[in-house]
Structure 1
Amino acid sequence: MKITKNIAILLAIFVLLPLNDAFSQSKIKAKTGESIVQYTIVHPLHTIIGKNKNPYCTCTYDESTGKITSVEVVGQVMDFSSDNSNRDSHMGEVVEALDYPEVKFVSSAVDLIRNDSLYVKGNLTFHGVTKPIGFWVAQSVQNGKTICIGSFDISLTEYKIERPALVGVKTEDKLAIWFKTVFPRVLKK
C-alpha cells in the first residue's frame, strides 16, 4: 500500500512538474512606435535605408528569472519607408509584397552569453523563403524598459529576390538588417 502511494506521488510530481514550467512563462509585446526594424541596401550611386516603425514583436520570458526564452518579430513589407514613395513602391514590387506581405523571424533558441548579450537563433521567412539565421543582441535596461538592439545581414539572392537596379546597375546582394525592440518592463538579466 505504501509503495503504491509513493508511486502515485512520484507520478503526480512528474505530471505536474512540466505544467509548472508552462505557468512560469509569460509573453510580452514590444512597444509600437518605439521599436523599429530597418534595412540598408547599397547601390553604387547611394545607400538606401528603409524603416519599419510598426513591427509586431513579442518575447516569451521566464517569470522567475526574467530570461527571454523566445522571440517573434513580424514586419509588414509595405510598412518600410525610405522617405521616397517611388522607391518604396519599387521595393514593394521587387520583393513581391502583394504575394509575400510580411517578413517574419521566429526564434528557436535564445542564449544568455553575458548579462548584456544574447545570441539568438531561429528562422527568417522573407519572400516565401525560410532560412535559419543567428545573431547577437545587446540587451539593456533604460527608464524601466528592456531594450534589445541587434543586426544581421542576408543575401537577396538566397531569398530568391532579384537585386534592384538603377540606371542599369544593380544593388549589392547584401541586405543589412538592424533592429531595436523596446519592451515596457524590466526583464531581469
Structure 2
Amino acid sequence: MKALQIIGFFAALLSVQLVHAQRTYTFSESTKVVVTGTSTLHDWEAKVDEVSGTAKLDLNQQTLNSIDLLSLKFASESLHSGKDAMDKNIYKALKTGKYPHIQFILKEVKEIRKTGEGKAAVTAKGNLTIAGVTKPIHLTAQAILKQEEVAFRGEYTIDMTQYGIEPPKAMLGTIKTGKDVVFHFDLTFKTLPNGTSGK
C-alpha cells in the first residue's frame, strides 16, 4: 500500500510540474516591430503600433524546451513612418481596406538550440499572410528568457511582389520604393494571469 502511495505522490508531483512548465503567454508592452525598406530617394522605416498574439511555451529552469503554439497579428494601418503621404501609399499597397491584418502562424519548430544561460537559437517555419496572400516561410530568431517574460528577436526579409504587392510610389512615380522590405522584430511575451485564456 505504501509503495502505491509513493508512486501516486510522485505521479501527482510530476503532473504539477508539467502543468507549470507549459504556460500560455501574450504580448507585453515592450514588444517592438519595425519595417524598413529602400527607395530611389532615401531609406525609410515604419513602426508597427498594434501587435497581438499568443504563444504556448514549455520552459524549465531558464531553458526553452518547446514552442507548441505561436500566432501573431499586426494591424496593417498601425504602420506609421512619420510621414502621412508615405503611410497612405503603404496602406494602398497593402490593400488595408480589404485585408486589415498581417498574420503569422507557426507550423513547425525545426530546432531549439541552447546558446547560453536563458538563451536559445530557434529555427521554425510557418505561414505568413500579407494582403490576402499566404506563403510558407522559414524564420530564425534568438530567444531570451528572463523571469516571467520570453523575447524572440530577429529579422526577416520579404519580396513584396511575391505577395502581389506593387512597391509604393510617390511624387507621380518619380520616387519608387524597393521591392524588398525587412521586418525587424523583438516579440516579448509575458505569462497570462491564472484563468485567462489569451484569446
Q: Do the structures match in fold with TM over 0.5?
A: yes
Equivalent residue in structure 2 for 1:160, among 164, 189, 192:
164
Alignment TM-score, normalising by the size of structure 1: 0.78
Q: CA 1:141–1:25 in structure 2 vs 1: closer, same or farther (change >3 Å)? A: closer
- Could you report, residue by residue, the CA deviation over 1:117-154 in whole angstroms, capped at 9, with x for unpaired residues? 00120000000100000111101134642111011111
Structure 1: any 5+ residue segments left out of the alignment? 1-20
Change (3 A) 1:124 1:78: same
* Structure 2 letter corresponding to 1:81: H
Bigger drift between 146-155 and 135-144 goes to 135-144
> What aligned pairs does 1:83-98 form with structure 2 within 5 A after superposition?
83-98=82-97
C-alpha distance in 2, partners of 1:127/1:114? Answer: 33
Q: Does 1:40 align with 2:39?
A: no
Q: Which of 1, 26, 51 lines up with 1:29 in the alignment?
A: 26
User: Which of 149, 172, 176 matches 2:178?
Assistant: 172
Query: Structure 1 vs Structure 2: percent identity of aligned residues?
Result: 24
Distance 2:169 2:82 in 1: 18
C-alpha distance in 1, partners of 2:132/2:100?
9
Quick check: 1:181 aligned with 2:187?
yes
Unpaired runs of 5+ residues, structure 2, are 1-17, 115-119, 192-199
State the AA in 2 paired with 1:113.
I
RMSD: 2.3
* Counterpart selection for 1:57 from 53, 56, 77: 53
Moved over 6 A (4+): 21-24
The code of the aligned residue for 2:53 comes to C
Report which of the two has the higher share of strand.
Answer: 2
Q: Give 2:135's aligned residue.
A: 131
Cα distance in 1 between the residues matched to 2:44 and 2:163: 19
